[in-house]
Structure 1
Amino acid sequence: MEIKRAYRFRFYPTPEQEVILARTFGCARFAYNHMLRIRTDAWFKEQKRIGYHDTSALLTELKKQPETIWLNEVSSVPVQQSLRHLQTAFGNFFAKRAKYPTFKSKHDKQAAEYTSSAFKWDGKTLKLAKMDAPLNIRWSRTLPKAAKLTTATVSKDAAGRYFVSLLCDDSVSAKPVASGQIGIDLGLTHFVILSTGEKITAPNTFRKNESRLAKLQRRLAKKQKGSANRIKAKLKVARLHAKIADTRKDFLHKLSTRLVNENQVIAIESLAVNNMQKNHCLAKSISDAAWSEFVRQLEYKSLWYGRTLIGIDRWYPSSKRCSDCGHTVPKMPLKVRDWVCPECGSIHDRDINAARNILAAGLAVSALGESVNPVCI
């Protein structure tokens, strides 16, 4: 299967490269915000739509103005690409896939996208336009042989770390057929409960760092705005947030990869996470669990490697149904963790029983060839 894959690496710029990147980030952000204001005013004041080609022509005129001639100091490609990103944002908005585009802030994550005409790649080193030396990249993984890079996106996160994401054409092949079949029940105390009886404890990355984060945020709130100490305190908060996100992502990737490698069929319950987060007692733990990201990883990895991922309707009574005889009890409060089937007398662990029912439902749907509800979580 031919796919587009992005490889993300951390790099360490020289002081001169930091200056060039800061200017590039600023120019790209300015062009995006300026054209967003023009398109917004044109629509709400004159009911007139302005598209990408119109903003591109306006950018050309903007570079000739004495007040904004500094836009010519950086590579034109990242600035031009920011207009394409703005067009994509409006397209998603009109297709009702996203909210109305918002202005970019210099205090948030910064990014600039270079196309193949704005960088040089010899298979070992990457050199961006307007730079004299290649980037000092930490090659944590190997790129595919004869990889053809299409874009290189340079970014700087709130913690001050620099990354480059290399998008290239790649191919993936299905893995050998696995004998395993698994049903997955998602939880909070245990992140996933498998139909095999295995329970994997939730990492709770945010919960474990919550008190430390609260202390750093209190210290940040007491610093004077605009001071050097406030900048230092803000950086400490950002670094802890980055540590939490990286730890969570590492856990999700390792677990999803393991399940895809070991099982040919994976059945999982579809959950309405947005509705569940309206419960203020559980909202923080649900967000910390990152169920949506876990299912997203299972989806694309299953597609790549020839596995079958089946989504079970969230209204399916997996917890209330006996996995041995099929009897369904009318009610099953959350506080009930173990129960005895009144029909056959089987003793069930609530979560393991649910995972087994999810697997059985998934296999039934797969065998009968019925339409499978999409995994929307």
Structure 2
Amino acid sequence: MQRLQSFKFELMPTGEQQRNMRRFAGSCRFVFNKALALQKARYEQGEKKLGYAGLCKLLTVWRNSIDTAWLADAPVHPLQQKLKDLERAYTNFFAKRAAFPRFKKKGQQDSFRYPAPKQIKLDQANSRIFLPKLGWIRYRNSRNILGAVKNVTVSQTCGRWFISIQTEREVEQPVPQATSAIGIDVGVARFATFSDGTFLVPLNSFKRHEARLRKAQRAMSRKVKFSNNWKKAKTKIQRLHARIGNARRDYLHKATTTISKSHAMVCIEDLQVRSMSKSATGTADAPGRSVRAKSGLNKSILDQGWFEFRRQLEYKLAWTGGWLIAVPPQNTSRMCPACGHVSPSNRQTQAQFACVACGHSDHADVIGAINILARGHRVAACGEPVQSGHSVKQEPTEAI
């Protein structure tokens, strides 16, 4: 089977290479914004939007124009990739998978992508890579790159440049080494509670740095906008956000790697995190209730990274030959696993479960994880098309 995998490293560019990369990222941002403005203007005039081929023809005109001749200094393939990104954003919008594409701002997600592997040369022995119009660039070689290079993405975060090398290689069909199955109930007080009674404590990466972040944001608000001191304060905030994100990703990677290697089947709830973390502010005509409390809950939910946790579990279980089964979350912490009685009264408190029918009691998150595992077994046993590493959804039945 074919395996796609990305390897990310920090670049060590020279001063000239850094200036060129900033120019290339700026050119890509300009092309994306110009194409987006053109598409919006055509829509307002009642015209059909241009496809990728039509935008590429306009890109050639822009590169040959006197006003935008500086676009020719950047490699053409990354500019074309930005037009592909815009086309994909429009497709996702009309399919109701994403919001309408927005204009890109300088300093936010600056990146450009080389899609042609023939133009890329990788020298792992000397920890360097060749990119068109940039030459050989050294990178911090922390692990071996496996497979053939498919494409390369260069990005900038907090003044540091990174490279993500996507490769493709042929691997044998994985066979799970473990034979056990486990159910996982995610939460805020406990990040992940397992059906065997164990649990993972939450990292709360954002909460740990919240006070420092608030102090840095207040200091930035007192600076004159776009002054040197304002830029320094902004850089400090960006570094704090990067530290928060890096700590969260590291925690999730370690947790998901351990779980995927220890279990052949993992059952989780099919949670809609975006809906769960919506604001409760409401409108002027219909104001929301308990807005402050809901805001704190939303912040705690997003701090855990539930969606990223599921995404990592999905592809890591595919690599190890396991299965990820997503089950409906309804009444998982209200149903007694001993007698099957379902009632809101079973959940005495947020943490305590006590069945009013048979008296069975345990931690509410453990009860939820046990019920999730039971539903996962039913999904796998009822002939549903369970694919390796892909989540399987099952509508709740009366017997559950």
The verdict on a shared fold, with TM-score over 0.5 as the criterion, is: yes
Question: Deviations 1:355-377 (Å, cap 9, x if unpaired)?
Answer: 1121122112212324785399x
Unaligned runs of 5+ in 1: none
1:275: how far off? 2.8
1:166 aligns with 2:165: yes
Taking the TM superposition and a 5 Å limit, the aligned residue runs for 1:99-138 are 99-114=99-114, 115-124=116-125, 125-132=128-135, 134-138=136-140
In 2, Cα distance between equivalents of 1:149 and 1:161: 23
SS at match of 1:102: coil
1:213-256 CA distance string (max 9 Å, x none):
00001111111112111111111100010000000001111111
Q: Map Cα deviations across residues 3-62 of structure 1 (whole Å, 9 max, x no partner).
A: 222211111211010111111111111111111111221122142321111111111111
Distance in 2, Cα, partners of 1:123 & 1:166:
12
Superposed counterparts of 1:1-377, under 5 Å: 1-114=1-114, 115-124=116-125, 125-132=128-135, 134-144=136-146, 147-157=147-157, 159-172=158-171, 173-278=173-278, 279-315=294-330, 317-333=331-347, 335-370=349-384, 374=393
* Alpha carbons of structure 1 residues 53 and 368: separation in structure 2 relative to 1, 3 Å: closer
Q: Which amino acid is the alignment partner of residue 101 of structure 1? A: P
Render the CA deviation track for 1:313-334: whole Å, top value 9, x for unaligned.
111x221222223333343457
Pair 1:272–1:83, CA change in 2 (3 A): closer
Residues 1:339 and 1:41: Cα distance change in structure 2 (over 3 Å): closer
How many residues of Structure 1 are paired with residues of Structure 2 in the alignment? 371
- Letter aligned with residue 320 of structure 1: R
What SS does the corresponding residue of 1:98 show, helix, strand or coil?
coil
Q: What CA RMSD, in Å, does the superposition of the two structures yield over aligned residues?
A: 2.0
Q: Deviations over 1:85-107 (max 9, x none)?
A: 22222222232222222111112
Distance 1:175 1:253, change over 3 A: farther
Amino acid at match of 1:354: G
Identity of aligned residues (%): 37
351 and 223 in structure 1: CA distance in 2 versus 1, 3 angstrom threshold: same
Letter in 1 for 2:160: R
For residue 265 of structure 1, report the CA deviation from its aligned partner.
Answer: 1.4
Letter aligned with residue 142 of structure 1: N
Conserved in 2, the CA contact under 8 Å of 1:75 and 1:118? Answer: no
SS in 1 for 2:191: strand
How many Å separate the matches in 1 of 2:96 and 2:353?
44
Deviation, 1:76, is 2.0
Residues 375, 245 of structure 1: CA spacing in aligned structure 2 closer, same or farther, 3 A cutoff?
farther
Q: Distance in 1 between matches of 2:68 and 2:353?
A: 71
Q: Return the alpha-carbon distance in structure 2 between the equivalents of residues 231 and 78 of structure 1.
A: 28
Q: Which amino acid is 1:16 matched to?
A: E
Which stretches in structure 2 are left out of the alignment for 5+ residues?
279-293, 387-391, 396-400
Shift of the 97–275 alpha-carbon distance from structure 1 to 2, 3 Å rule, reads closer
The AA in structure 2 aligned to 1:298 is L
Letter in 1 for 2:393: P
Change (3 A) 1:343 1:39: closer
Choose 277-286 or 213-222, whichever is displaced more: 277-286
